[in-house]
């Protein structure tokens, strides 16, 4: 897929995700106001936060396909990493505030909500999220960027959380018919807290990954090992050995610099170009935008 097709695919997917978020945000906001449910409010705030972050990102997408220059050696990839850090930091703060509010509600004795209405509503939300997720996943098979993966993950969370909330309120309806009916007022804030804790993992992990990319730290060992294996396999046809592997990831771009030694001190430009192209072509299957350079390790003067 060429750059233009990638750009159009990504913009289409992000626009569809944006429209879906707006629709669910409005419906959940109205329902949260009518039912006073913290669980639905949690969904609404999460969708609202994601929606306001998608808008500016749509303006950023075309810049991510600009070629690197001397003035911008990493292009706009670090802007993407910064954007994801900001996005998930906001989500993290919102989630923490909702946990605090739900705990306060529990300490005040909880509150009753119409469990039947919420169970049916959340099941409808589950079906809607599932449909949008399947559509996004279908179109993303052509191309998946870091941002698209983040959107797919958020929709997947919406699917899990909505069906979980629906089942929780079905359980509340059953509970109200037993001697444990006194627990009913606590179900809504407890479910909201459980949803919040479930949603905390992804923002925290993404923030740490984004910060590592912003300061140009090396990726995790698994990625380094994978690149090293591919490079060593392609070099088996020559006498070159890897002296040092330098890998930088920021946003969707990956830079690989392979410093090599040659036992017989004979290094040809033709062999370097051939090996570089072979390594790059193989790594393209796993990395979105990857740059590979092979550099002879020159000895220091005595």
What pLDDT, on a 0 to 100 scale, did the predictor assign at position 144?
62
Highest mean pLDDT among 19-33, 146-160, 194-208, 236-250 belongs to: 19-33
Give the CATH number of domain 221-296: 3.30.70.1350
pLDDT band at 96 (very low <50, low <70, confident <90, very high): confident
Listed range (34-43, 55-64, 150-159, 262-271) with the worst mean pLDDT = 55-64
Higher pLDDT, residue 133 or 74: 133
Q: Could you report the per-residue pLDDT of 234-273, keeping only the tens digit for each? A: 887 777 888 888 888 876 778 888 888 877 767 778 888 8
Please determine, for residue 289, whether its predicted confidence score (pLDDT) is greater than 70: yes
Residue boundaries of the structural domains of the chain: 3-214, 221-296
* Reported pTM: 0.61
The CATH architecture of the domain made up of 3-214 is Up-down Bundle (1.20)
Measured distance CA(77)–CA(79) in Å, rounded: 5
What pLDDT, on a 0 to 100 scale, did the predictor assign at position 117?
86
H-helix or E-strand spanning residue 121: helix 115-140
Q: Using an 8 Å Cβ cutoff, are 78 and 250 in contact?
A: yes
The CB-side HSE value for 207 (13 A sphere, CA atoms) comes to 13
**C-alpha torsion sign, points 81, 141, 132, 173:** negative
Report DSSP state, residue 65.
G
When pLDDT is averaged across residues 153-182 and rounded to a whole number, the result is: 80
């Amino acid at each position: 897929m060429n750059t233009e097709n990638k750009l159009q695919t990504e913009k289409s997917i992000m626009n569809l995700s944006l429209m879906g978020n707006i629709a669910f945000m409005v419906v959940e906001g109205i329902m949260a106001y009518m039912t006073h449910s913290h669980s639905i409010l949690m969904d609404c705030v999460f969708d609202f936060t994601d929606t306001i972050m998608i808008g500016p990102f749509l303006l950023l997408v075309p810049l991510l396909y600009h070629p690197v220059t001397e003035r911008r050696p990493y292009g706009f990839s670090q802007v993407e990493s910064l954007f994801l850090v900001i996005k998930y930091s906001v989500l993290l703060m919102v989630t923490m505030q909702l946990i605090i509010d739900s705990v306060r509600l529990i300490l005040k004795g909880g509150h009753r909500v119409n469990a039947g209405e919420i169970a049916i509503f959340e099941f409808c939300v589950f079906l809607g999220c599932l449909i949008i997720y399947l559509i996004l996943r279908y179109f993303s098979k052509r191309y998946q960027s870091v941002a698209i993966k983040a959107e797919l993950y958020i929709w997947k969370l919406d699917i899990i959380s909505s069906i979980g909330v629906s089942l929780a309120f079905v359980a509340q309806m059953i509970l109200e018919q037993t001697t444990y009916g006194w627990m009913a007022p606590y179900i809504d804030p407890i479910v909201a807290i459980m949803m919040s804790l479930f949603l905390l993992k992804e923002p925290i992990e993404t923030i740490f990954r984004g910060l590592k990319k912003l300061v140009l730290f090396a990726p995790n060992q698994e990625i380094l090992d994978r690149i090293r294996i591919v490079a060593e396999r392609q070099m088996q046809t020559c006498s070159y050995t890897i002296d040092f592997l330098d890998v930088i990831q920021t946003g969707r771009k990956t830079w690989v610099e392979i410093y090599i030694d040659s036992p017989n001190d004979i290094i040809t430009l033709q062999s370097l170009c051939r090996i570089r192209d072979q390594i790059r072509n193989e790594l393209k299957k796993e990395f979105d935008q990857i740059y590979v350079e092979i550099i002879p390790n020159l000895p220091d003067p005595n």
